[in-house]
Structure 1
Amino acid sequence: MEGHKNNQLDYESEKVEILRLVQSKRNINSLNMDLERDMQRIDEANQELLLKIHEKENEIQRLESEITQTRDLAEDEEWEKENCTAMEREKALQELEEETARLDRKNETLVHSIAELQRKLTRKSHKATKCEQDIPKGSPEESKAKLQQLEASCADQEKEVVKVMEDYAFVAQLCEDQAFCIKKYQETLRKIEEELETRFLEREVSKVLSMNSARKEPNSQNNKDHSLQKKGTWFCKRIFQYVFFTTLFFIRLLSYLFLHIRLVNPDLLINILPKILSRGILWKLRCFLFPSLTLETEDMLPH
């Protein structure tokens, strides 16, 4: 009878242990399901982040293309304006050169006219001397009148020569001023051409730098995406390792507990549970587990 009771107690303890193991297995399965759900949520969050990153990259590229287009248009407009100003200055320089050539021609004509006047004066002076020599001695009044006429004509010619010399000096001064202005204008044109060349070179350099930066930015974005993917995979691996090792730890604890109950102290739970749980909880636990632990032998007994 006592052996039968011991066997029944062993059977009941084994049933309790089996139920506990089943419950622990269910808990582990539920934990695994929760872990899988968390992993799915993390993957979905990573995909959403990647989509947002791609959208931001597309927006950045679009804005950069718009900025480059506006910059190119502004630079083209500035270049056209500078070309127009350069053409206008070249036209003004050509006009100045034409004016200087015209003034040079006038100067040459004035020089020729002055030379002719001097020749005429010399001829008239020779004629006057000849007339004085040819005048007879007996007509002093006529000689005086002719001398007065010659003196008046000489005075008029001298006045004309003075006017011509003044015009010549004025024209020479104008030519010098025009030459000075042309030199200054040529210097300014050279400076403007140098500035245009430097601006053109700066624009080309800025284009090359912008192209290099545009090439580097996708590489940097790809590196960022790769780093984010690495971080996501590393985070998932860490979570999986944590859950895996925790489950292994609990399984080992349960196996040690099962071996201890099986081999060392079968009454461990019976001795520990009253110390840990209250009477009400023990009664509820007993009512819950009692139907599964009792043997259904009423149908087998003889009536």
Structure 2
Amino acid sequence: MDLERDMQRIDEANQELLLKIQEKEDEIQRLESEITQTGDLTEDEEWEKDNYATMEREQALQELEEETGRLERKNETLVHSITELQKKVKLQQLEALCADQEQELVKVMEEHAFVTQLCEDQALCIKKYQETLRKIEEELETRFLEREVSKVLSMNSRGKGYSSQNNENNSVPRKATLFGKGIFRYLFFIILFFIRLLGYIFFHNLEFTAGVPVAQLEGERSNSDREGKICSEEVVIPEGKGTSSFLDSISRCPD
């Protein structure tokens, strides 16, 4: 009986131990499952974190690329605007330069017209001087012929050989004297004309180098035209008057 009780107690103790072992095994399995689940969760969290960081980096990279594209488009727009502005500035500069050149061309054309008119006036003045000199020569020749004719008539009226010979001998130096006077007067008027012509040229160069306005030049030209007309009117030798009237008219001409 005691043995059976002991066996029964041993069996009960064994069962209790088995139960405890079973409980321990269950607990170990539970712990292992928990550990396994914890590892999986950790790996999932790390993967999610890595995936999230990768997505953030990709999104930031995409935003950066979009911002770079916008900046490049803005840069292209600015470059195009700058190019257009430079073209407009160059065009304005060229327009201003063309306007200045047109003004200079107008001034040059006006100056050319003034010089042409001055040359025409000088040519007219030369023509008038030539006509005046021709009239003087004709007058001198006429007077010389009149004197010669009067001398011949006086010589014929006297009818004396000795007196006629003396008159002929005296007429030769007189003829030479009159001819020399005519040449001297001719040279004098030519020199006077060239002096006046040089004065006009010097005055014209002085005005252009000093930058005299065109209006003032036109005023001077009109004054010179009026003076030239007055001078030409005074230079005309009236019939019946000699070279003294011509010299008086030349002296009255303005310089």
TM-score with structure 1 length normalisation?
A: 0.46
Match of 1:79 among 98, 101, 104: 101
2:38 matches 1:16: yes
Q: Which structure 2 residues correspond to residues 217-232 of structure 1 after superposition, within 5 A?
A: none
Residue type of the alignment partner of 2:54: N
Backbone CA RMSD of aligned residues: 3.6
The match for 2:149 is: 127
Q: Are residues 35 and 136 of structure 1, via their aligned partners in 2, closer, same or farther at CA, if it must alter by over 3 Å?
A: closer
Residue type of the alignment partner of 1:31: A
Separation in structure 2 between the aligned mates of residue 22 and residue 96 of structure 1, nearest angstrom: 108
Report the structure number with the largest CA radius of gyration. 2
Separation in structure 1 between the aligned mates of residue 30 and residue 198 of structure 2, nearest angstrom: 137
SS of the aligned residue for 2:63 comes to: helix
Q: Write out per-residue CA displacement over residues 33-70 of structure 1, whole angstroms, 9 at most, x where no aligned residue.
A: 21122123212321331232133123212311221221
2:90 matches 1:62: no
Report the CA distance between 1:84 and its aligned residue: 0.8
Separation in structure 1 between the aligned mates of residue 191 and residue 153 of structure 2, nearest angstrom: 35
SS of the aligned residue for 2:44 comes to: helix
Q: Write out per-residue CA displacement over residues 214-262 of structure 1, whole angstroms, 9 at most, x where no aligned residue.
A: xxxxxxxxxxxxxxxxxxxxxxxxxxxxxxxxxxxxxxxxxxxxxxxxx
Separation in structure 2 between the aligned mates of residue 167 and residue 58 of structure 1, nearest angstrom: 75
The match for 1:113 is: 135
Q: Which structure 2 residues correspond to residues 98-177 of structure 1 after superposition, within 5 A?
A: 98-134=120-156, 168-177=190-199
The match for 1:27 is: 49
The match for 2:5 is: none
For structure 2, the 5+ residue unaligned runs are 1-20, 160-177, 210-255
Q: How many matched pairs?
A: 166
Q: Write out per-residue CA displacement over residues 52-110 of structure 1, whole angstroms, 9 at most, x where no aligned residue.
A: 21331232123112212211211221121122112112211211221222122122212
Q: Write out per-residue CA displacement over residues 246-286 of structure 1, whole angstroms, 9 at most, x where no aligned residue.
A: xxxxxxxxxxxxxxxxxxxxxxxxxxxxxxxxxxxxxxxxx
Report the CA distance between 1:180 and its aligned residue: 6.2
For structure 1, the 5+ residue unaligned runs are 138-156, 189-303
Residue type of the alignment partner of 1:45: E
Residue type of the alignment partner of 1:43: E
The match for 2:4 is: none
Q: Which structure 2 residues correspond to residues 261-280 of structure 1 after superposition, within 5 A?
A: none
Report the CA distance between 1:7 and its aligned residue: 3.9
Q: Which structure 2 residues correspond to residues 222-301 of structure 1 after superposition, within 5 A?
A: none
1:100, 1:175 within 8 Å by CA — same for their partners in 2? Answer: yes
Report the CA distance between 1:6 and its aligned residue: 4.1
Separation in structure 1 between the aligned mates of residue 198 and residue 157 of structure 2, nearest angstrom: 50
Q: Which structure has the higher relative contact order (CA within 8 Å, separation 6+)?
A: 1
Match of 1:36 among 55, 58, 61: 58
TM-score with structure 2 length normalisation?
A: 0.53
The match for 2:118 is: 96
Q: Write out per-residue CA displacement over residues 279-300 of structure 1, whole angstroms, 9 at most, x where no aligned residue.
A: xxxxxxxxxxxxxxxxxxxxxx
Residue type of the alignment partner of 1:41: E
